[in-house]
Amino acid sequence: MPNSSLFIPVILGTSRQGRQSEHVAKFIVEQVALRDRLETELIDIRNIAIANDDAGEPLKDPQFSATMERADGLIIVAPEYNHGYPGLLKHILDTCLKEYIHKAVGLCGVSAGPFGGTRVIQNLLPVMRELGLMTIFYDLNFSNVQKLFDESGNLIDKPTYMG
């Protein structure tokens, strides 16, 4: 595999206005793109048209499905909302199954509080297992996210997150 690359997309798991997770997701994409033999792209769930009157694979978005099929692994950036994950993220993840089987997934929690989304990660772990994804050993946690980036979305606390 010396001349091939791995494709690791980053899923931004919220569609809310004013979302601070967007800065984190863009930062993660930039960091992945710096690695040799890794390709990435940002998947913003806000841009996936999905019905809300059904569930599961019947709602499969062809482009999202094809991207998950192509992916060698993925990273999910999920904000913690009331100790849980966004419902739209779960709704979209549930549209694929076979596309995920035995692929690695990294989880990145984001919160406005001091725990950096640890509870969202904790709540996503059984979901990842059920979807057939294999979680990696390390999680990324972005605490007090509103203080980590400047107005332009640039990371302020570089030593902590780029070491």
Q: Give, for all 163 residues of the chain, the pLDDT tens digit.
A: 456 899 999 999 999 998 999 999 999 999 999 999 999 999 999 999 998 888 778 889 999 999 999 999 999 999 999 999 999 999 999 999 999 999 999 999 999 999 889 999 999 999 999 999 999 999 999 999 999 999 899 999 777 776 5
Q: Measured over all CA atoms, what is the biggest interatomic distance in the chain, rounded to whole angstroms?
A: 46
Query: How many Cβ atoms sit within 10 Å of the Cβ of residue 121?
Result: 22
DSSP state of 155: B
Rg (CA), the chain: 15
Residue pair 120/86 in contact by the 8 Å Cβ criterion: no
pTM of the predicted protein model: 0.94
Return all residues near 120 (Cβ < 8 A) that are at least 6 apart.
78, 79, 80, 81, 83, 84, 85, 109, 110, 111
